[in-house]
Amino acid sequence: MTAYTATVTVRLKQGVLDPEAETTKQALERLGFELEALRSADRFEVDLEADGVAAARERADEMAERLLANPTIHDYDVEVAER
C-alpha cells in the first residue's frame, strides 16, 4: 500500500450562475483591482492509502460522484500524488 493525496476540485458547470463569485468580483473591483471574470471552486485534499495510483483515483472519483460534487450543477476533477 502506498500513501497518496487525492485532490478533488469541484466547480460549477459552465453556464451555472455563481452569485458568490460575482459578489467577490465586485468587491475586488471596489478595491480597485481590474479583472475580467472570477470563478470559485472547492478543493478537497484526501489522504488515503491504496495499491496504486489507479486505485486511489478510482476511490476519489467515487467520493466525488457520491458526495463531494452534485452532478446537477458541478463538474469535478481528481489529481493523485504520492505523499
Partner 1 sequence: MTVSIVRFGGSNCDRDAERALAHLGIDAEIVWHEDGLPADVTGVVLPGGFSYGDYLRAGAMAARSPIMTEVREAAADGVPVLGVCNGAQVGCESGLTEGAFTTNESARFQCEHVSLRVERADTPWTAAYEEGEIIEIPIAHGEGRYEITDDRLAELEDEGRILFRYCDENGDPTPKANPNGSKHAVAGILGDRDSVAVLMPHPERATLPDVGPTDGQGILRGLER
Contact set with partner 1 (CB under 8 A): 16-20, 22-23, 66-68, 70, 72-73
Whose grid coordinates read 500500500?
A: 1
CA distance 26 to 60: 34
Nearest distance, CB of residue 83 and partner 1, angstroms = 23
What are residue 76's DSSP bridge partners?
Answer: 10
What are residue 5's DSSP bridge partners?
Answer: 47, 81
Nearest distance, CB of residue 53 and partner 1, angstroms = 26
Nearest distance, CB of residue 17 and partner 1, angstroms = 6
Question: Closer CB to partner 1, residue 57 or residue 74?
Answer: 74
